[in-house]
Amino acid sequence: MKLKLKTINGDFAICYLDPKAQIPLWSRNDLFYSLTMTKDELSIVTLQAQVPKGIKCDPFWNILMVIGPLDFSLVGVLADISKVLKAAEISIFVISTYETDYILVKKDNLQKAITVLNNSGYEVLC
């Protein structure tokens, strides 16, 4: 089963903070943000324009959202998408939520990712 994806407008950054850091207010927005806390790090994905200078981050990511909700019984959704993008030599950063998956690709690879996904039977809505 091939799924539909859509782009989320905006340039995003993947940020690293110390695991003891408080969750910063700048990380939040109405479009998309993700926070992951482990014993080793606080990882934040948010709009690039909101990240203050001096924060360790990797900028210029765009987001492809798998249109969901996805049933937990589905197998291989991310495996197949990542296989298609790997074949095109496009690196990814993935975030999963209760209802769906988000695939981040570097901004300069977004159009290539859309093309190879469309050519592989996915439908990418922009």
Distance (Å, whole) CA 74 – CA 34: 23
Mean pLDDT value of segment 11-22: 97
Domain chopping of the chain, boundaries: 4-125
Tokens of 77: 């959704």
Distance (Å, whole) CA 20 – CA 71: 34
pLDDT digits (tens, 9 = 90+) for 68-118: 988 877 777 899 999 999 999 999 999 999 999 999 999 999 999 999 999
**DSSP string of 35-99?**
EEE-SS-EEEEEEGGGSPTT-EEEEEEEEEEEPSPPPTT--SHHHHHHHHHHHTT--EEEEE-SS
Task: Supply the pTM of this predicted model.
Answer: 0.93
Q: pLDDT-based confidence at 1, cuts 50/70/90?
A: low
Residue 11 Cα distances to 47, 93, 109, 113, angstroms: 6, 14, 13, 16
Q: What topology does CATH give the domain 4-125?
A: VC0802-like (3.30.2130)
Distance (Å, whole) CA 117 – CA 2: 10
pLDDT digits (tens, 9 = 90+) for 23-70: 999 999 999 999 999 999 999 999 999 999 999 999 999 999 998 988
